[in-house]
Amino acid sequence: GAVVSQHPSWVICKSGTSVKIECRSLDFQATTMFWYRQFPKQSLMLMATSNEGSKATYEQGVEKDKFLINHASLTLSTLTVTSAHPEDSSFYICSKTGGFDEQFFGPGTRLTVL
């Protein structure tokens, strides 16, 4: 069964609004989770590392004030896209590391900004 869930699976919003995406670890605690973005017909690109109880670390070129990450509990990380614009429309995927070093990915969240 799934070990990482995401909510919502898809969301449509108006330009300028903020959208929150939840990523939950279902089987055991995850002190570190990862957020990726995938544009159509492109590969996944790492956005940031979410650390429980501390600030997220962002990859170069990712605006931390636009993509707010909160890892307030050992099983939940949230990504908030603030003041979303059409160019933020993408497929957002979170992941965590499993016990045998494999990465477990969530099902993804499709964001469409009108």
Structure tokens at 96: 């965590």
From residue 36, give the alpha-carbon distance in Å to each of 3, 14, 93: 17, 22, 5
Site for another protein contains 20 (CB under 8 A):
no
Site for another protein contains 106 (CB under 8 A):
yes
Which residue, 42, 40, 48, 41, is CA-closest to 81?
48
Site for another protein contains 102 (CB under 8 A):
yes
> Binding residues for another protein, how many (CB under 8 A)?
26
Residue from 46, 72, 74, 114 touching another protein (CB under 8 A): that is: 46
**x-marked contacts with another protein along 48-87 as a string, rule CB under 8 A:** -x---------x----------------------------
Is the Cβ of residue 81 or residue 95 nearer to another protein in the bound state? 95
4-15 as b/e: b if 16+ CB within 10 A: bebeeeebebee
Do 48 and 35 contact (CB within 8 A), yes or no?
A: yes
Do 19 and 9 contact (CB within 8 A), yes or no?
A: no
Is the Cβ of residue 84 or residue 90 nearer to another protein in the bound state? 90
Which residues are at the interface with another protein (CB under 8 A)? Answer: 4, 32, 34, 36, 43-46, 49, 59, 91, 93, 95-98, 100-108, 110
